[in-house]
Amino acid sequence: MTNAPQNVLFIMADQLRWDYLSCYGHPHLHTPNIDRLASKGVRFTNAYVQSPFCGPSRMSTYTGRYCRSHGSTWNGFPLRIGERTMGDHLREVGVQSVIVGKTHMVPDTEGMNWLGIDPKSTIGVQLSECGFTPFERDDGLHPNSGYDGNPDYNGFLREHGINSPNPWDDHANSGLTEDGERKSGWLLKYSNLPADVPEELSETPYMTGRAIDFMEQAGDQPWLCHLSFIKPHWPYIVPAPYHDMYGPEHIIPPVRSDAEKATDHPVYKAYIESRICSTFARDEVRERVIPAYMGLIKQIDDQLGRLFAYMEEKGLMENTMIVVTSDHGDYLGDHWMGEKDLFHDQSVKVPLIIYDPRTKADATRGQVRDDLVEAIDLAPTFLSYFGGTAKPHILEGRNLDPLLHASEAPTEWRDYAISEFDYSTREARKTLGTAENKAQLFMIRDARWKLTYAEGFRPMLFDLETDPQELVDLGKSAEHADVISRLTNALFDWTRQHHSRVTVSKERVEHMSINGEPWGIVIGQWDEAEYEATTGHIFGNWSNP
């Protein structure tokens, strides 16, 4: 391998569950290309996102900061001006970070207006594109309602003869029945149909091709390429041959229990009873959706095979760190839930594979690690990779180097992983009548226990050692009062920490603490003699600080 790190390929799939890859144990979904990357890198089995939802999770991953720090706690909540992302930090060390695909970032146009920043200026584009240089920005949802209606991908489809007002929706995300009737991939009943687009023109190959286009023209300057697939996120529909690669025999049985369905936890109950969750809990829905979901993942794996082959050929495997991860999972009916939002592993845990080309990572190739890692660890890891100075006053994650380079566990690592969820815009809040500023959920998990702290309600607790499927909620168990109290206190410790003291480095704080007041500012000194005795300086002789 190499000692000259040059590039990072940061691959994110959208809504990819941690356990829907063969290297993570899926019995029927074979993902040999991702698995091969894992065999050359480190595979993390306890990687958590900072919010089990697209927007806030991504803003945490990109900024390296918790949701309570960056404040963009929900899809469409603009990232406040002044929050820097990995792209901004890497630009400072001469690295260009490009986006190919989705960020789900909404810019703070009000903040830009205030500061007089033209969104079309260089800095305005950076602020609008989450710190990345937009090579191909595509947030991946382009319904016929007109919402985000004109992706470049539509132009690509039209160039290839697929003409319609919105080929993304009309073709790439619709299917044809045997009778030739066009049916929308937005509706779950039709997830079994093949998308009405040649496979090589569908979104995942297109976006992979765009990443290759970028690498072709990237030149010798170091880069980070964030290849951010919209899939396997819904619309759950995939072109042939992927649409019927998997059938009912490949569907893992749902992880759920009658006791769960009878939960008295108000928030969990409100979710289970919500329209979306009760839909995904239906067997007919699972049977249509899951095979398509698996097909979409299989297609991603195949496309990564294509991309990795290209990189091998170009020598890029020698000097490019490759990360494969996701922004959150998908319940798919497990725990009587659909989508994401809550903190079962199906929702909040993600796959995380890191291939580090440096020779110092040779000792860890193929390792599987169960350390608690967080998505916010990626930004400081990338900054370190490119030789940047650590910024712990801003970047709240941890540089993963010790885990990537040591074959033994590091002596010190984090004790807890934390995630947050703001359900202020969700159906469950209406059901519960929670105030919008109290609609907060927190997860804190340690090596054994996972606690959900629900503002205004009792906690939920799972013993991951005896109950790895998280079926037995111990949140009311008197026997576990100590565990609940310990984790609750640890969570509160964390909320009390500094999350906004971002303009002063820790070194500067130490420096100020050692040096005290600025030179010449004299506090609490009686006279010249006392000043001299306590400071060692002559009062009034200001020439030699």
Of 340, 369, 429, 450, the residue at the interface with a copy of itself (CB under 8 A) is 429
CB 361 → a copy of itself: shortest distance, Å?
Answer: 30
Q: What are phi and psi of 239, to 5 degrees?
A: -75, 165
Residue 396, classed as helix, strand or coil, is coil
Residue 410 bridge partners (DSSP): none
Q: Does 447 bind a copy of itself (CB under 8 A)?
A: no
**Ranges assigned E (strand) in 233-303:** none
CA dist 281 and 30 (Å) reads: 25
State which of residues 213, 436, 447, 468 lies at the interface with a copy of itself (CB under 8 A): 436
Closest contact distance (angstroms) between CB of 191 and a copy of itself is 10
Binding of residue 110 to a copy of itself (CB under 8 A)? yes
The least distance separating a copy of itself from the CB of residue 230, rounded to whole angstroms, comes to 13
Among 161, 253, 433, 520, binds a copy of itself (CB under 8 A): 520
Among 158, 189, 261, 448, binds a copy of itself (CB under 8 A): 189
User: Which distant-in-sequence residues (6+ apart) come within 8 Å of 79 by Cβ?
Assistant: 59, 63, 70, 71, 72, 85, 105, 106, 107, 108, 130
* Rounded CA separation 300/203 (Å): 10
Judged by CB under 8 A, the stretch of 206-214, 246-254, 411-419, 533-541 that binds a copy of itself is 533-541
Interacting residues with a copy of itself between 27 and 86 (CB under 8 A) = 68-74, 76-84
* Candidates 316-324, 420-428, 458-466, 478-486; binding stretch for a copy of itself (CB under 8 A): 420-428
Q: State the minimum distance, in angstroms, from the CB of residue 143 to a copy of itself.
A: 3
Which residue's entry shows tokens 């929900």? 74
SS3 166: coil
Q: Considering the complex, what minimum distance in angstroms separates the CB of residue 145 from a copy of itself?
A: 2
Residue 144 sits in the site that holds a copy of itself (CB under 8 A): yes
The yes or no reply on residue 161 touching a copy of itself (CB under 8 A) is: no
How many whole angstroms separate alpha carbon 267 and alpha carbon 342?
9
Neighbours of 53 (CB within 10 A): 27
d(CA 57, CA 463): 25
Stretch that binds a copy of itself, among 12-20, 118-126, 298-306, 318-326 (CB under 8 A): 118-126
Instruction: Determine how many CB atoms are found less than 10 A away from the CB of residue 75.
Output: 16
Residue numbers 262-281 binding a copy of itself by CB under 8 A: 275-277, 279-280
Residue 531 is a binding residue for a copy of itself (CB under 8 A):
yes
- The answer to whether the CB of 467 falls within 8 A of the CB of 445 is no
Question: Of residues 351-410, which lie at the interface with a copy of itself (CB under 8 A)?
Answer: none
- Out of 410, 481, 528, 538, point to the residue binding a copy of itself (CB under 8 A): 528
333 binds a copy of itself (CB under 8 A): no
CA distance 388 to 391: 9
Q: Please give the full DSSP string across 81-96, using - where no structure is assigned.
A: TT---HHHHHHTTT-E
Q: How far is CA 401 from CA 18, 20, 96, 295, in A?
A: 22, 26, 21, 34
Q: Which is closer to a copy of itself, CB of 140 or CB of 205? A: 140
63 or 320: CB nearest a copy of itself:
63
Report helix, strand or coil for 503.
Answer: coil
Number of Cβ atoms within 10 Å of the Cβ of 448 = 11
- Please report how close the Cβ of residue 520 comes to a copy of itself at its closest, in angstroms: 2
513 binds a copy of itself (CB under 8 A): yes
Part of the chain binding a copy of itself (CB under 8 A), chosen from 18-26, 187-195, 461-469, 472-480: 187-195
The answer to whether 397 touches 418, Cβ cutoff 8 Å, is no
Nearest alpha carbon to residue 445 among 371, 367, 369 = 371
**For a copy of itself, which residue of 26, 57, 88, 346 counts as binding (CB under 8 A)?**
88
Supply the minimum distance, in Å, between the C-beta of residue 151 and a copy of itself: 14
Shortest distance (Å) from residue 436 CB to a copy of itself: 5
Q: CB of residue 5 vs a copy of itself: minimum separation in angstroms?
A: 24
Q: How far, in whole angstroms, is CA 406 from its chain's centroid? A: 25
Q: Which stretch binds a copy of itself (CB under 8 A): 211-219, 342-350, 353-361, 500-508?
A: 500-508
Q: Which is nearer to a copy of itself, 281 or 352 (CB)?
A: 281
- Alpha-carbon distance 44 to 302, whole Å? 22
Q: Which residue has the tokens 């703070």?
A: 108
Footprint of a copy of itself on 231-250 (CB under 8 A): 234
